[in-house]
Amino acid sequence: MAQSNATRRVVVTGLGVTAPLGTGVETFWPALKRGECGIGPIESFDTQDLYITIAGEIKDFDPRALGLSKPLLLADRYSQLAGWAAQEAVAQSGLTVPFEHGPRAAAIVGTGAGGLTTLERGYYDMYVLKKAATHPLTLLRTIGSSAAAHIGIEYGVKGPTFATMSACSTASHAIGLVFQMIRAGQVDLGIAGASEAVLTYGSMRSWQALRVLSDKGCYPFSRTRNGTVLAEGAGILVLESLDYAKARGATILAEVMGYGTTADAADMVNPDIEGASEAMRLALEDARLAPSDIDYVNAHGTATAVNDVNETDAIRRVFGKAAYDLAVSSTKSMHGHCLGAAGGVEAVIAVKAIEEDFVPPTIGYAEPDPRCDLDYTPNEGRAREVNYVLSNSFAFGGLNAVLVFGPPPA
């Protein structure tokens, strides 16, 4: 394997999540272990003439009750979701707020669509209600860097602060960038992940037109799958250099071992096996792990006909015979596809899988697909030793990001 330029090890000290199965890791993770489903009929807006009327909605998110700051209470929902997840992650990390070494901290928090809820409301006000102007905070609420800026302000982050925006790979790219910055010595700690809140009438009309959504549910790798299901959510990690975390006596949850990123450069919609497999190979190389070292793959697993076959083929290409010893699952079957936030939510799952030696299931798996022949942990999760997890994020445009997590350093 090629030698890494890494000089510092990077660890996870905080997790934060809000997703359709619950707000907060202590609610979300147990529901995931039980194989519960957070997908159901849309309740947050009038579905009118839509024929896709299901989604993964967060039903228990109350920004005031959760104690969000006044600036975040005035923000778009996507920033609020990110703000809560960051609040939970920072609290678990035990870091002093504001951060003691603000210039040595980063906040890279992305989104696939930004403040879409605010944007749609603004258009409705102007073109349907014929109002003379939109809300004065419309611009600040909609821009894709709002969540990162809010979080930076909340915690006194004075180092690199910006958003990534790469569709369904957004969060994994954000985590990978902070990982690389810490490893290279540019910063000592960082808040990383992404947030998405795109459950609006206009958004559903757009996704419905692309014909990739299911009207029944999200059933990855099953022969009965017929599309993905949109969801909202946020997943945030606090990352630190090992030395920085040890010096302050932090509890270390896991280690970020490797990161691989590629582009297919082929098609905006149809995935390419080359890009996906190379991203996995690079992540393993970066982690200095052999394919046989990986215990669990949290698959991108969108439940679309082409993507699931492509991902299975890519896993087989990279892992060879070891592919059939892996535990694989797509947790999107339970929490839906959180788009830009998916990799952040799934990074939280990867860390918890290591922490509790448990592989969550792929629910709704009704019938094997001969083209998808791996162990997808069908319908029920299982306890097994989990030391190393590989988490896949593959986005429209052929934008791929893969993360590898391992146990806390001894």
**Band (4; pLDDT cuts 50, 70, 90):** very low
User: Does 1 have pLDDT greater than 90?
Assistant: no
- Give yes or no: residues 119 and 222 share one domain: yes
Answer yes or no: is 399 within a domain: yes
Which residue bears the tokens 């004065």? 136
Q: What is the mean pLDDT of residues 29-40?
A: 98
Does 286 score more than 80 pLDDT?
Answer: yes
> Is residue 105 over pLDDT 90?
yes
Q: Are 235 and 154 contacting, i.e. CB atoms less than 8 angstroms apart?
A: no
Give residue 7's pLDDT band: very low, low, confident or very high (50, 70, 90). confident
Amino acid sitting at position 381: G
Last residue of a domain, one of 204, 223, 247: 247
State whether 40 and 175 are in the same domain. yes
Identity (one letter) of the amino acid at 269?
A: V
CATH of the domain at 350: 3.40.47.10
Between CA 199 and CA 197 the distance in angstroms is 6
89 and 231 co-located in one domain: yes
Over residues 138-145, mean pLDDT: 96
pLDDT at 410: 86
Token digits of residue 168: 């369904």
Predicted local distance difference test score (pLDDT) of residue 354:
98
Which one of 226, 247, 268 terminates a domain? 247
Residue 1 domain-assigned (yes or no): no
| 103 and 169 share one domain | yes
Q: Does residue 397 carry a pLDDT above 60?
A: yes
Decide if 252 is inside a domain.
no
Residues facing residue 66 across a β-bridge: none
Across the strands, what pairs with 390? 297, 404
User: Which residues are annotated as catalytic?
Assistant: 168, 300, 337
- For residue 364, what are the contacts with CB-CB under 8 A and spacing of at least 6? 37, 217, 218, 219, 220, 222, 224, 333, 379
Which of 247, 274, 307 lies at the terminal end of a domain, its last residue? 247
Rg, C-alpha atoms of the chain: 20
Domain coverage including residue 148 = 11-247
Three-state SS for 275?
Answer: helix
**Do 187 and 317 fall into the same domain?**
no
For residue 147, the model assigns a pLDDT of: 98
CA dihedral 275, 390, 332, 318 (to 10 degrees): 40
Whether residues 315 and 179 share a domain: the answer is no
What confidence tier does 3 reach under pLDDT thresholds 50, 70, 90? very low
Does residue 87 belong to any structural domain of this protein? yes
Q: Is the distance from CB of 190 to CB of 105 less than 8 angstroms?
A: yes
Give the integer Cα–Cα distance in Å for 354 and 384: 10
The predicted model gives 169-177 an average pLDDT of 98
Pairwise CA distance, residues 148 & 152, whole Å: 6
- What CA–CA distance (Å, rounded) separates 60 from 186? 38
Tally of domains within the chain: 2
**pLDDT (tens digit, 9 = 90+) per residue, 78-89?**
999 999 999 999
Percent of the chain with pLDDT over 70: 99
Q: Does residue 320 sit within a domain?
A: yes
Q: Which pLDDT does position 298 carry in this prediction?
A: 98
| Mean pLDDT value across residues 330-358 | 98
Are residues 178 and 310 located together in one domain of the fold?
Answer: no
- The answer to whether residues 240 and 275 belong to one domain is no
Residue keyed to tokens 């391992």: 406
> What are the structure tokens assigned to 278, written together?
């190379």
Q: Are residues 26 and 63 in the same domain?
A: yes
Do residues 362 and 335 lie in contact, with contact meaning Cβ atoms separated by under 8 Å?
A: no
In a shared domain, residues 159 and 193:
yes
pLDDT tens-digit readout, 217-245: 999 999 999 999 999 999 999 999 999 99
Structure tokens at 8: 């510092």
Q: Other CB atoms closer than 10 Å to residue 401's CB: what's the count? A: 29
Residues 200 and 63 in one domain: yes
Residue 376 lies in a domain: yes
User: CA-based angle 285:290:295, to the nearest 5?
Assistant: 115
**Is the predicted pLDDT of residue 322 greater than 90, yes or no?**
yes
What's the pLDDT score for residue 6? 53
User: Can you give the pLDDT at residue 2?
Assistant: 34
Please tell me whether the overall predicted TM-score, pTM, comes out greater than 0.85 for this model: yes
Distance CA 275, CA 398 (A): 7
In a domain, 6, yes or no: no
Cis peptide before 408 (omega within 30 of 0): no
- Claim to verify: residue 279 and residue 208 sit in the same structural domain: no
Which H helix or E strand runs over 79? Answer: helix 77-93
* Spatial separation of the C-alpha atoms in residues 352 and 29, rounded to whole Å: 8
How far, in whole angstroms, is CA 340 from its chain's centroid? Answer: 7
